[in-house]
Amino acid sequence: MQVQSKKSHLNKKKYQLLSWIILLLGIPIVILLGVKLFNDRKYNLISIIIAFFACVPFFLQFERRKPRAREVMVIAVMSAISVTGRLIFAVLPGFKPVTAITAITGIALGPETGFLTGAISAIASNMFFGQGPWTPFQMLSWGLMGFIAGILGKFNIMQNKIILSLYGIFSGILYSLLMDIWFVLSIDGLFSWDKYIFAIASALPFMVIYALSNVFFLLLFSRPLGEKLQRMKTKYGLME
């Protein structure tokens, strides 16, 4: 038992070390190579690689836990619900339940699970909407929505409807701001604050609709879905 515990501790340290190497060494190297090889101009390519690297530690942390099949299944089901919701509301620009489903999963099952649900929802739904260099940005952005909700969920404040509604507004604004960075970079590979402010102003109606849709879907689904996830977590010892 003691040997197994020691082995588990060493594996945890190994995955943590690899995560820190990616974040603290891999990303700076990518930036440096981008500056040297592309004369500090291919910001879009550099940003795609950085967004992908930023997702890796979360997948490594989940893999470290040696997840059981039922835990993987829960993430797959929640991601499928999220993807289905995005498809159903495809005709309404900005009105999507993805952030809400991702946040509810994070609140109930923890930040890592929330991040994975958001990231998988992005890459899976883009099989229908189209994959492209924007996919890593969506994976990172939706993943962060689930991760932040999971962190807040640890403080038992997300059961409050006012707090939940404020998070819906906050996540709608944050997601839009993050994706506006990609939009600016996609124009000519260069980032400028003037173009970014213009992009934010242009996307303001989308931002408002998305924030309000987050509030709507969070208030609609947080109790029924959250309670089911909590019961499954308690019954099967998920994500412990």
**CB neighbours (10 Å) of residue 91?**
7
Q: How many domains is the chain partitioned into structurally?
A: 1
Q: To the nearest 10°, report the CA torsion of 108, 111, 116, 121.
A: 60
Query: Cβ contacts of residue 38 below 8 Å, gap of 6+?
Result: 45, 46
Q: To the nearest 10°, report the CA torsion of 129, 111, 170, 95.
A: 30
Please report how many Cα atoms fall inside a 13 Å half-sphere around the Cα of residue 24, on the Cβ side.
6
Residue from 117, 30, 32, 31 nearest 72 by CA: 117
Strands of 111-239, DSSP E: none
Q: Sign (positive/negative) of CA torsion 36, 37, 42, 44?
A: negative
> Rg (Cα) of the chain, in Å, rounded?
19
Q: How far apart are CA 9 and CA 196, in angstroms?
A: 44
Q: Give how far the C-alpha of residue 159 lies from the chain's centroid of Cα atoms, to the nearest Å.
A: 21
146, 102 Cβ separation under 8 angstroms: yes
Q: What pLDDT digit, counting tens, does each position of 14-50 carry? A: 666 776 676 667 767 776 676 667 665 566 677 777 7
230, 113 Cβ separation under 8 angstroms: no
Range of the domain at 96: 2-236
Whether 211 shows a pLDDT value over 90: the answer reads yes
Whether 232 shows a pLDDT value over 90: the answer reads no
CATH number of the domain bearing residue 135: 1.10.1760.20
Q: How far apart are CA 201 and CA 213, in angstroms?
A: 19
Report if pTM > 0.85. Answer: no
Q: What pLDDT digit, counting tens, does each position of 121-170 carry? A: 998 898 888 877 788 888 889 989 999 999 999 898 999 999 999 999 99
